[in-house]
Structure 1
Amino acid sequence: MCGRLEKNSKGLQIHHISYKNLGHEDVANDLICLCGRCHILIHAYYNRKRA
């Protein structure tokens, strides 16, 4: 989302866009790479949206 890595980051993290294909993901459509901060933010967004 941000286009960069955090300074003290351990690298990119994989986020599942959809869990329907868990274990058999289509990399182009089901996964996205995010920095740690953006990964936390996207989960917080989805948790607020569900509430």
Structure 2
Amino acid sequence: MLIHSWIMNSVYPSIAQSIIFMENAVDVWLDLKERFSQGDLVRVSE
């Protein structure tokens, strides 16, 4: 619960609203990883 709270307080409120009901930090972390790891192909190729 401590890590879940830390993540909640570290993200923008709009993001926090989408992860607030997730049950554990692993679910939150995987959601954020999927959300933000989608690289821009142009940027990756530079």
Instruction: Determine if the TM-score, normalized by the shorter chain, exceeds 0.5.
Output: no
Question: Taking structure 2 as the reference length, what is the TM-score of the superposition?
Answer: 0.39
Identify, as 1 or 2, the structure richer in strand: 1
Question: Taking structure 1 as the reference length, what is the TM-score of the superposition?
Answer: 0.36
Identify, as 1 or 2, the structure richer in helix: 2
